[in-house]
Structure 1
Amino acid sequence: MCLSVPGKVISITDAKPGQSTSAEDETLWKMGKVSFGGVLKQVSLAYVPEVQIGDYVLVHVGFALSIIDEDEAAQTLSYLDQLEAV
């Protein structure tokens, strides 16, 4: 079983720094800073090219796998908090 953790996209970088890229490469290299309760991590956004700053994403091993709404993110974080209490 894999666990994805919700986080909020704070910033987006569209392409690999210092290189000109095609549109396909821009999607491949799309990265973003994602906040996990105030802890910022660099995350690949290649699987969610339509993501916008302020969106919530589910992240697993450094890759954003899907976009979720704020309510779903809050509910998932609540479940994770309950697991910590056990």
Structure 2
Amino acid sequence: MCLGIPGEIVELSADRDDLAMVEVAGVRRAVNTGLLGPGEVRPGDWVLVHVGFAMSKIDEAEAAATLELLRGLGSAYTDELEALASSDIT
């Protein structure tokens, strides 16, 4: 199962305008923000992350509700977190 997981933008890349550091459940990874367009995200914004890409911006309330729902999925959620933790797009 493939999931879009909410993550909070914690830092923008100084070297590339299409990369940002995102935190998902305590895991920090670089994600590509190019699908959202230049200047569309900044630290504190929430995005849905799938396979290393920020797919869309969401608000904090939607992020919290989605995370709660995903936690209820059990292994599908933890599998996705493990895949995120082992990924590196830089």
TM exceeds 0.5?
yes
Give the equivalent residue in structure 2 for 1:53. Answer: 43
- Separation of aligned partners in 1, 2:60 and 2:10: 14
Deviation at 1:2, TM superposition (A): 3.9
Give the equivalent residue in structure 2 for 1:19. Answer: none
- Separation of aligned partners in 2, 1:3 and 1:83: 11
- Separation of aligned partners in 2, 1:67 and 1:12: 15
With structure 1 as the length reference, what TM-score do the two structures score?
0.76
Give the equivalent residue in structure 1 for 2:5. Answer: 5
In structure 2, the gaps of 5 or more residues are 76-90
Deviation at 1:33, TM superposition (A): 0.4
The answer to whether 1:35 aligns with 2:23 is: yes
Deviation at 1:37, TM superposition (A): 1.3
With structure 2 as the length reference, what TM-score do the two structures score?
0.73
Worse overlay, 57-66 or 46-55 = 46-55
Aligned residues: 73
- Separation of aligned partners in 2, 1:71 and 1:47: 22
Worse overlay, 63-72 or 2-11 = 2-11
Q: Deviation per CA, 1:2-51: give whole Å up to 9, x if none.
A: 420100000012544xxxxxxxxx4xxx1000000111011001011311
CA RMSD, Structure 1 to Structure 2 (Å): 1.7
Identity of aligned residues (%): 44
**Distance change (3 Å), C-alpha of 1:53 and 1:46:** same
